[in-house]
Structure 1
């Protein structure tokens, strides 16, 4: 696995650690523990992100009828991966997974198998360079860009700094997708974290801090500019014009009790391209 440095924490492996997985290294665990020491609810937030992914994929297939997924920042395989959720509803769904951690792609190729009717492919790529993802033959071979695609950016964009122009990244990806495509995005924020815990996360030094970029609800809303938000609660059933908390988006009884908002503090939603 070229490019794998086990001495540097990686967000996908740290996320795996928080979810109780075993595909992580000492650096990932050290970083995960350092963040959890400052904000113990990070484990709840990570679990809620996974539930949001599951609900949004089901919604895309069942209610919107989209059968193709471009999942960037895939993370290490766990239960209810994108293709498993989608193909359980329609086995003809097709998914392209993209991640910049070689360990993620190695595990994905070994463990994430598609239904015979559908398709799964895997691409090592960096969301900060969307042009390379869009130009890769694997994308053209897996997805039909004349038909709507779900762009999955779940817990990814808070690892893209302002210097890398995150809004250009998302706009570039969406511009390549046809009308009717969806953006599924979640983004962590300090908005609802208790002030004392947020201060520690912002002011103290710890492994993993340098790669994280909190954004406010208004800043997360900007990722959805020009899109119609779907499935959002709002006045008189009209829906909200801003993304809400991921833990509240179309939550069902199977997802358990809604955690306190301060334990999630992650904005997200599903937007449809006109």
Structure 2
């Protein structure tokens, strides 16, 4: 089930942040301009490639957790190019393989990502693809979303690699808006590129916007991302570098950790998973500063 849009013109000469991340993840949907730009950015700000791989690892672990959990609905806001699994399927199919009939909603702000996702969705699968100009919690009110998502039941919402979104969303409005709309017991998995040093944040934000001709968001401080999750119940590991996140909160086995080579990373993919409490949103979440 999809929206109807004319096919966008794919310009492979202009680097795209989603395709650059695709290259950093060692996947194949990218062009020479994306690969060159990705190498140049990593050379200037070490850690960007590792962060992209960490985001992919985080998404995979979250989806594996959902496949075994009692959350039978998935909404992915701002998703990138569909990631193939080791078994040859697609990332969201991890959940549907174990819980047949699980509805999935994929919301993209990038027209080429939307078209690619639409082309890969099986006609018989309960998957809705939507193209939106910006990310907002009000997407849950969209008629096509409501046609497959039951708002009275728990929902898992993925908000991964939000730095790719342009314009950069108001994260406080997005997270609190979702938390107040979602049924108790719903999960929110959030990750965002973050850098402790202000100079690094400004430098990478400027560089990526120049490289992609303005089709990128921004880098944020780790503390700003952590503030978004206050007042919600933690699931698994505490918020931090998502490369280390696990559903049981234990350190990943050595074989599952990302290798650390080269210069120390100046940026990380920061985030975590939280649950909407049955007692309502806690006061500290409402007081989180607007980002």
**Aligned residues: CA RMSD:** 3.1
Tell me whether 164-173 or 17-26 shows the greater mean CA deviation: 17-26
1:222 and 2:218 equivalent? no
Q: Which residue of 1 aligns with 2:48?
A: 42
Are 1:182 and 1:270, in contact at CA under 8 Å, matched by a contact in 2? yes
- What stretches of structure 2 of length at least 5 have no aligned partner? 1-5, 278-291
- What stretches of structure 1 of length at least 5 have no aligned partner? 233-239
Against the structure 1 CA distance between its residues 129 and 65, is the aligned structure 2 distance closer, same or farther, given a 3 Å change threshold?
closer
Are 1:149 and 1:177, in contact at CA under 8 Å, matched by a contact in 2? yes
Count of residues in Structure 1 that have an aligned counterpart in Structure 2: 258
Partner SS state of residue 191, structure 1: coil
Against the structure 1 CA distance between its residues 134 and 8, is the aligned structure 2 distance closer, same or farther, given a 3 Å change threshold?
farther
Deviation at 1:67, TM superposition (A): 1.3
Partner SS state of residue 262, structure 1: coil
Task: Decide which of 69, 75, 87 is 1:70's aligned counterpart.
Answer: 75
TM-score w.r.t. the length of structure 1 is 0.80
TM-score w.r.t. the length of structure 2 is 0.75
Q: Distance in 2 between matches of 1:94 and 1:50?
A: 21
Per-residue displacement from partner, 1:240-259 (whole Å, max 9, x unpaired)? Answer: 4xx12111111644863343
Are 2:92 and 2:104, in contact at CA under 8 Å, matched by a contact in 1? yes
Q: Which residue of 2 aligns with 1:124?
A: 131
1:245 and 2:254 equivalent? no
Q: Distance in 1 between matches of 2:32 and 2:9?
A: 14
Against the structure 1 CA distance between its residues 213 and 202, is the aligned structure 2 distance closer, same or farther, given a 3 Å change threshold?
closer
Q: Distance in 2 between matches of 1:126 and 1:27?
A: 25
Partner SS state of residue 147, structure 2: helix
Are 1:158 and 1:215, in contact at CA under 8 Å, matched by a contact in 2? no
Are 2:18 and 2:164, in contact at CA under 8 Å, matched by a contact in 1? no
